[in-house]
Amino acid sequence: MRLIVGVLVAVTSLLTAPISSGDTSFAGGGGTAEVDVGFVQRMLFDTSIADFTAGAGNRTGPDGLDHDTWFDWTTDLCSAPFVGNTGRSFNFTDACRRHDFGYRNTLLLDRRYDAGKHWHGDARKRIDTLFLADMKRHCGGRKLIDRPTCYGWAYTYYKVVRVVGGP
């Protein structure tokens, strides 16, 4: 019995050991604080909403590979009760997906590296402002007759996240 347990422990240890590919900046899907912060910032502020949405759909990590598990790609889209993320005059699905990515991964950076350095009021406001810009960009592409209603919903969603979103 002792031999079996020893073999199981050895096999488990080997299976869970990180595999090095020579480039350790993304070993096991994660990088350094600098790489991770840079990736989150790039995905939020230097990537078009269309490119972000494509990357989020594949969960494309900083190494360019799909199915990344190091970052939090989960989303509840817009969890607005009764309204959801779409309506007759708007569809904020992509904006909500990027907003969720911003909140979740900025909090994740705080947990992994420096608590309080990444998730704070200024960072949250910047992510929320991007959320509003993404929604307004979407509204600009709607039929002219639907735009005022769409902009109204965009400002409503923005105001709600400013009130209930965190620090």
Cα–Cα nearest to 92, from 80, 106, 107, 82: 80
The answer to whether residue 14 is domain-embedded is no
User: Which pLDDT score is estimated for 3?
Assistant: 35
| Contact between residue 93 and residue 77 where contact means Cβ atoms under 8 Å apart | yes
Read off the pLDDT of each residue in 73-85 and give the average, rounded to a whole number: 78
The answer to whether residue 66 is domain-embedded is no
96-135 pLDDT, tens digit each: 999 999 999 999 999 999 878 899 999 999 999 999 999 9
When the pLDDT of each residue in the chain is averaged and rounded to a whole number, the result is 80
Alpha carbon distance 123, 165 (integer Å): 12
DSSP letter for 96, please: H
pLDDT band at 24 (very low <50, low <70, confident <90, very high): very low
The answer to whether residue 145 is domain-embedded is yes
Contacts of 41 (CB under 8 A, 6+ apart): none
The answer to whether residue 92 is domain-embedded is yes
Q: Which domain, by its residues, includes 86?
A: 32-61+71-164
Read off the pLDDT of each residue in 25-38 and give the average, rounded to a whole number: 68
Contacts of 79 (CB under 8 A, 6+ apart): none
pTM, to two decimals: 0.78
Q: Is the pLDDT of residue 160 over 60?
A: yes
Q: What are phi and psi of 90, to 5 degrees?
A: -155, 160
- CATH number of the CATH domain containing 102: 1.20.90.10
Question: What percentage of residues in the chain have a pLDDT greater than 90?
Answer: 53
* Helical spans, DSSP H, in the chain: 2-16, 33-45, 49-58, 93-112, 121-140, 147-164
How far from 137 is each of 97, 100, 155, CA to CA, in Å? Answer: 15, 18, 12
Domains held by the chain: number: 1
The answer to whether residue 11 is domain-embedded is no
The answer to whether residue 116 is domain-embedded is yes
User: Which pLDDT score is estimated for 167?
Assistant: 63
The answer to whether residue 18 is domain-embedded is no
The answer to whether residue 21 is domain-embedded is no
